Amino acid sequence: MPSPTPTEAGPAGAATLGPVPQPAGTPGRDSGPHRVSGGLLEPGQLLAALPGALRKLDPRVMVRNPVMFVVEVGSVLTTGSAVADPSVFSWSIAAWLWLTVVFANLAEAVAEGRGKAQADTLRRTRTDTTARRLVDWAPGRTGAAEEEVSATALRLGDTVVVEAGQTIPGDGDVVEGVASVDESAITGESAPVIRESGGDRSAVTGGTKVLSDRIVVRITSEPGKTFIDRMIALVEGAARQKTPNEIALNILLASLTVVFLLAVVTLQPMAAYAGAPQTLVVLTALTVALIPTTIGALLSAIGIAGMDRLVQRNVLAMSGRAVEAAGDVNTLLLDKTGTITLGNRQAAEFLPAAGTATGELADAAQLSSLADETPEGRSVVVLAKEKYGLRARQQGELGHAVWVPFTAQTRMSGVDLDEDGTVRSVRKGAAGAVSAWVSDNGGTVGADVGELVERISASGGTPLVVASREGDAAPRVLGVIHLKDVVKHGIRERFEELRRMGIRTVMITGDNPLTARAIAEEAGVDDFLAEATPEDKMALIKQEQAGGKLVAMTGDGTNDAPALAQADVGVAMNTGTMAAKEAGNMVDLDSNPTKLIEIVEIGKQLLITRGALTTFSIANDVAKYFAIIPAMFAAVYPGLDRLNVMQLHSPQSAITSAIVFNALIIVVLIPLALRGVRYRPSSAASLLRRNLWVYGLGGLVLPFAGIKLIDLVVQFVPGLR
Amino acid sequence: MSPTLAGWLQVSVLVGALAACYRPLGDWIAHLFTSPRHLRAERALYRLTGVDGDADQRWPVYLRSVLAFSAVSVVFLYVLQRVQNHLLLSLGFPAVKADMAFNTAVSFVTNTNWQSYSGESTMGHLVQMAGLAVQNFVSAAVGIAVVAALIRGFTRSRTDRVGNFWVDLTRVVLRLLLPLAVVLGLVLVAAGAVQNLHGLTDVHTLVGGSQSITGGPVASQEVIKELGTNGGGFYNANSAHPFENPNGFTNWLEVFLILLIPVALPRTFGRMVGDNRQGYAILSVMAVFWVASVALVTFFEAQHHGAAAQAAGAATEGKEQRFGIAASALFAASTTLTSTGAVNSFHDSYTPFGGGVTIFNMMLGEIAPGGVGSGLYGMLVLAVVAVFVAGLMVGRTPEYLGKKLGAREMKFASLYILTTPAVVLVGTGLAMALPGERADMLNSGPHGFSEVLYAFTSAANNNGSAFAGITVSTPWWNTALGLAMLVGRFLPMVFVLALAGSLARQQPVPATEGTLPTHKPLFVGLLTGVVLIVVGLTYFPALALGPIAEGL
């Protein structure tokens, strides 16, 4: 990314100076199976989270998680029985039940801890700054009176002036001037960005630093409610609320808990009738083994980690609800430029005119483009080199050359070479401009060239005509350069993946329908919206939503704001205006619109992780029954010992092993909960098949092995034999 | 022909006959629920009762109608029994005592048809015909009406209306149950079932003793008893009685009648939601359980453990020689899987595992294929739970037939699956905890416990069959089981209708590649697994202390 000096960055130039979409996360880089993952879990994190986990033992906190609350009550009860009637067995059950609760809290604390670390970094930027408030500023007025106030004293609508080296005191819009701003505090990106009054790049964030020049900013947020404040709250999880799906799952888990509680409570009279009344410790152990503790323990950690995975990709979701909605999205509205195509058009081929060799055309095209510093011009040089092996000549190595740089007025570039007295002029540029140059100098443009130009225009490309003139002879048209939008490498495969996931992609572009169709076909999007106005976008969103579909889009301008608000998932670019950022429910700090696809995947992965661990948790119960039921009743009904398929050592060791397994599996699964289960974009049917095999069958089989292994150790503990 | 071959043939012909009826009957019921036209008789009835046949009810109104209708039915049936000695055709029987009248009234209104009385020696003909037989029709129709409301929840969008209970009820009775009952009742009579208004007839038996045998309108009650998955027999011996079920053909016909409507309803469902494959998927899950149950019961009963079974070549105790092992097992599996509760053999005498399967069948929640209407709505609620967990695993907020399963939907589905196990377990637990009620048990050990478990499982799931072996005609048992039946029937209906209302309000989400397909074998397997695991886990401890302890 170039480091522009603000003085050069006039309004026209600014368009190319904004942050270029980062190559990180470029689609297609990983066209094979890939994994949306978070960082790894380190033992140190567990240790650091321990105090927080213990604090969460407070019953007033625990009661919010009904499954684990039951375990905590069970822990208290068993501890009571162990005190009243001490034995190795009852003490070990009591200890492991407490550990189960602590492990669950640990999972949540670890997940929160990652956010806290990020929040601390952010908080460091929120140092007290002094603001230079302008007392009676009005547009165009200079020399307004200034006063120094604390940043916290700023109110909505105040105007402040910020100069090079100063920190912007609050969120706002630039109303006067242009400046380069260091936003690394929030984006982590060290290259400065341009902020200027008017247009879509006027938003500045409090806590970022002006590197050069002077701007006047109108404050758009109340103190304490700035963007950074919100970011801190979000990553810390302070604003965390249960999402709709989390609530629904909690209801199911609570009702399973009630069923199993009832099954155990009513078991006691049945057991008494059978002549084998059970102790409180055993009944509590059975309850805890049966209720879905695994998912109950990890549920909130999964949600926090999902948000955290977004934060690690520099996306801020304003609510967990938005992350869930991302997983449900049916339609993606993608801006053409930057998402589907590279930012600029590029030379794709050289089409010679009749009687001209392609090589000659390529040579002329290259020569005439050497002085063209626009991306289009550079792409001509690149094409000549890659396809025709023409080395890019430096301007200096050709003597006696008069370079004609490209300007918006002439719409041509070229060179006049003095070759042994005869001047050879080569020109390249817009068809109209070069045609005029040719005819002005007495030449004619052949009909075949006209056809080429039309054909390229019809296919959505841009034709550039190349002509040359030897001495005073009439100029000759050599051919046409085909410039076209270059669709990002691998994006087509990405869209196919999306289609397999059942997501429709719609390309949004300001191009005419012809051009739009050509690009849409090449990129493989399902549909396109050409000559799109913000109103068109809005209408499209509403139309999709009327059919029950969920729509995701990205946007940055103020005129995108209504559509961003209307979309189910609206991702605002950080470079965009405050209005856009307020309207969307996510902000991408990298301002990379391709990230929308990753956001969808993270949303899906979050839901899959919940479903997979729920299935795993419930499937686990089968093995626990085979451990505990024979242990409880084989004494009175010896036939039931045949259910002891794991051949566990003794009733005490069997029950202890089941409880130990139940507690340890939580710790084992914490990394999975934080990272999310493996997600591979594919159809629902194949996803379900895979996850059922891994987590359904795995959940059925694994505990048999796990409990047996634990029993092999536990049986040597005196008192559990 | 060997008994095994005969058994297989019987099952194959049964499956063939049910398959032949699946489409026409299912489509007919779908037509009943979607047609805007009323019959002339129906219009007359609506005028008479002041019902607006074109009104569309919100779910609470639909529910209130169901509850009001059922409450009136219970009161009417209760009073009828209490004053039967003053009525015509009482055959000289006295008024039924209060607790038994309550139990019986609840039992027939809830489609349970648990009988703590002995039919032929307690109820006069008028009570049997005007009370019990009428409830056989309408209690069945209530179940079918409720499932119609639930299906409408899936098919409708952005509305708070789920249909009109009175219209659904009337149409099911007049256009479905009555015509079928008349035709098939005549077939039963032709095949030898009794149909008259005789009182007690004294007959001399072959061994020289004398017996008093009641005649009565048996065939007409028999046909609706099976067709409406009711199960309350005219005689105490139920379908083992030769007047109710005279021969092998009537036995086959009765099993066919039991399964006919529950099996056709998935077609109705598929038809109404506009995708018949959805109906086949639900039917497949039901079929898996039914085939497995029939095979298991037959297998366990054909085993010869013990001296008597060894001598007879099978566990023939408690089974009619006319029917043999295969036909008894087929009947037992079908009746316990459908909430019918009619029996042609004595389930208590089954082998521990054979009897255990019949208990487990009921514990499934009477969903495979289940009671008329109630079976399908029970299965659909479990499908909602299965879709919820599986839907998460495909990375979307779960949706079934385009309707999202959010907190509200899961609340009602969870409460539904919670209700019946709670009633069964609390009831059984209480009975085992109270010394007086334990004294009513005539058997000891795991088998005695199985009998209590069976009684509460049967009552709460509205099956109505019994292991017997308990003196259930005491006030405690009559009241406890009566309450179990009431709660087990109507509380789930509340949740089903609430679910219907919440689904109907939603706008459907279009199906895409990313939508969990609910018509594929994978989903059939998943739903089967969810049913097995949810039920198995809930009841495993109780089953371990009963049939499993007895069998191992």
- pLDDT, one tens digit per residue, over B74-117 is 999 999 999 988 887 777 888 899 999 999 999 999 999 898 88
In single-letter form, the type of residue at position A222 comes to: E
Listed by start position, the domains of chain B span: 3-551
Q: Say yes or no: B542 contacts chain A, CB-CB below 8 A.
A: yes
Q: Which of A250, A255, A258, A689 to mutate to test the interface with B (most CBs of B within 10 A)?
A: A255
Whether A335 is catalytic is yes
> B332-353 b/e with 16+ CB inside 10 Å = b?
bbbbbbbbbbbbbbbbbbbbbb
Mean model confidence pLDDT for chain B: 91
Residues in A touching B351 (Cβ below 8 Å): none
- Integer CA distances (angstroms), A362 to A384, A392, A438, A465, in order: 6, 12, 19, 12
Angstrom distance (rounded) from CA B295 to CA B209:
41
Residues in B touching A544 (Cβ below 8 Å): none
* pLDDT at A170 (0 to 100): 83
Q: Do B414 and A252 touch (CB under 8 A)?
A: yes
Residues in A touching B514 (Cβ below 8 Å): 330, 501-503, 683-684
pLDDT digits 0-9 by tens, A208-240: 888 888 888 888 887 777 777 777 777 676 556
In the predicted model, is pLDDT for residue B382 greater than 90?
Answer: yes
Angstrom distance (rounded) from CA A586 to CA A581:
8
* pLDDT at A8 (0 to 100): 35
* pLDDT at B106 (0 to 100): 95
H-helix or E-strand spanning residue A176: strand A172-176
pTM: 0.85
Q: Say yes or no: A612 contacts chain B, CB-CB below 8 A.
A: yes
* pLDDT at A721 (0 to 100): 67
Q: Say yes or no: A330 contacts chain B, CB-CB below 8 A.
A: yes
* pLDDT at A21 (0 to 100): 36
* pLDDT at B291 (0 to 100): 95
Q: Do A608 and B393 touch (CB under 8 A)?
A: yes
Q: Do B552 and A643 touch (CB under 8 A)?
A: yes
Q: Say yes or no: B432 contacts chain A, CB-CB below 8 A.
A: yes
Residues in B touching A689 (Cβ below 8 Å): 522
H-helix or E-strand spanning residue A146: strand A146-150
Report H helices in A533-594.
534-546, 561-566, 578-583
* pLDDT at A269 (0 to 100): 93
Q: Do B430 and A637 touch (CB under 8 A)?
A: no
Q: pLDDT below 50 — which residues of chain A?
A: 1-39
Q: Which of A115-129, B112-126, B271-285, B401-415 has the lowest mean pLDDT?
A: A115-129
Which one-letter DSSP state was computed for residue A397? G
* pLDDT at A2 (0 to 100): 39
* pLDDT at B380 (0 to 100): 97
Q: How many angstroms separate the first and last alpha carbons of chain A?
A: 69
Structure-derived torsion over alpha carbons of residues B439, B443, B446, B449, reported in degrees to the nearest 10? -50
Q: Do A637 and B395 touch (CB under 8 A)?
A: no
* pLDDT at B430 (0 to 100): 93
**Which candidate in A229, A308, A335, A485 is catalytic?**
A335
C-alpha B303: how far from chain center: 28
Check: CB of residue A353 under 8 Å from CB of residue A481: no
Angstrom distance (rounded) from CA B21 to CA B261:
9
Pairing of strands A504-508, B210-214: unpaired
Q: Say yes or no: B533 contacts chain A, CB-CB below 8 A.
A: yes
Length of chain B: 552
pLDDT digits 0-9 by tens, B239-277: 888 889 998 899 999 999 999 999 999 999 999 999 999
Q: Do A248 and B549 touch (CB under 8 A)?
A: no
Q: Which two tokens stand for residue B490?
A: 């109507």
Check: CB of residue A601 under 8 Å from CB of residue A36: yes
Query: Which own/partner pairs from B307-315 qualify as long-range (CB within 8 Å, at least 24 positions apart)?
Result: B309/B351, B315/B349, B315/B350, B315/B351, B315/B354
Complex-level ipTM: 0.92
Angstrom distance (rounded) from CA A371 to CA A415:
8
Q: Report the percent of chain B where pLDDT is more than 90.
A: 66
Burial of A555 (0-12, 13-18, 19+ CB in 10 A): buried
Q: Say yes or no: B516 contacts chain A, CB-CB below 8 A.
A: yes
Q: Which of A590-604, B340-354, B485-499 has the lowest mean pLDDT?
A: A590-604
**CA distance, residue B76 to nearest chain A CA (Å):** 35
* pLDDT at A11 (0 to 100): 35
pLDDT digits 0-9 by tens, B420-447: 999 999 999 999 998 877 778 888 889 9
- pLDDT mean over B179-193: 93
**CA distance, residue A264 to nearest chain B CA (Å):** 8
Q: Do B545 and A259 touch (CB under 8 A)?
A: no
Residue of B nearest to A321 (CA): B397
Angstrom distance (rounded) from CA A411 to CA B371:
82
Angstrom distance (rounded) from CA B302 to CA B350:
10
Residues in A touching B505 (Cβ below 8 Å): none
Residues in A touching B385 (Cβ below 8 Å): 252
